Amino acid sequence: MLLATTGVGSARTSQDIEIEGITEPYLEIEIAAAEMGLLKGIQVAEGDTVKKGQVVALLDDSVLQAALDIARSAMNSRARRESAEAECELRSRTLEKLRELRARNHATQQELERAELQLRVAEGNLLAVIEEQEVRQLEYEKILAQLRQRQIVSPIDGVVTRVFRDQGEFVPLSDPEIMTVVQLDSLLVVFSVPAPVCDRLELRQSATVQFTLSQTTVSGEIEYISPIVDPQSGTKRVRVRLSNHDKDLPCGASCRLILD
């Protein structure tokens, strides 16, 4: 709604434009599970404050934990590599001795070539073992990534407003939402501003917002002006951000954008 008011005193000009709106959370996110599974636990409750990256829920991961133990054991196994390294060292020493003997004509060229071939085979076996260990390392990291997907984390700093599921409940891919988190350290107000008035507004411009109930006036920042005019109302959407670090501004409250 657009109101034109006559102001008295220094607080208002003679003809202010007031546009009504409602404060909203700056962000409202439905946190969902990336995979289906049984909910192992809910770590937070409605009304709790959460940090970005905080684990808010867990899916059952017992099978993956067992697979991780197996992958860790295989990755840390050193027996085959040590055996292959010892074989390479033995073949290398044998080749060096045969080269010395060949230099004194105490070994044949055939024996020397056989020793060189045996060393190349031993080096190939060692390389295969090293590559196999690298694959095992990748398998281990893959399982770690899968375990992280079983942890449901908050993508923002905010407050939990709704929890949709209980511990032990199955979460399907068709309905993966777990809870709602809102960001309240900033508030958002969307106003429908007449198109001619929008022509005088700029992004990052300071905007005066007054709360209807308390008559409190705060300064916000215009962060978006729609390039499209609504053909029915002749208005554009203007988004104003209000800083709310102290959480003293109410969310869901009626307010007015005051423009000269």
Residue type, 212: T
User: Could you give the CA distance from residue 221 to residue 242 in angstroms, rounded to a whole number?
Assistant: 7
| Residue 105 pLDDT level (bands cut at 50, 70, 90) | confident
What is the reported pLDDT for 8?
38
Instruction: Assess whether pLDDT exceeds 80 at residue 20.
Output: yes
For residue 153, the SS3 value is: strand
User: Could you give the CA distance from residue 120 to residue 114 in angstroms, rounded to a whole number?
Assistant: 10
Q: In this predicted model, what pLDDT tens digit does every residue of 192-229 receive, in sequence order? A: 999 999 988 999 999 999 999 999 999 999 999 999 99
Residue 250 gets which letter from DSSP?
P
H or E element, residue 219: strand 217-225
Which residue has tokens 């309905």?
Answer: 175
Report the range of poorest mean pLDDT among 13-27, 107-121, 185-199, 218-232. 13-27
For residue 13, the SS3 value is: coil
User: Could you give the CA distance from residue 148 to residue 171 in angstroms, rounded to a whole number?
Assistant: 16
> What is the pTM assigned to this prediction?
0.71
What's the average model confidence in pLDDT over 235-256?
94
Contacts of 65 (CB under 8 A, 6+ apart): 147
The residue among 66, 50, 45, 77 whose CA lies nearest residue 147 is 66
Position with higher pLDDT, 91 vs 14: 91
Instruction: Assess whether pLDDT exceeds 70 at residue 14.
Output: no
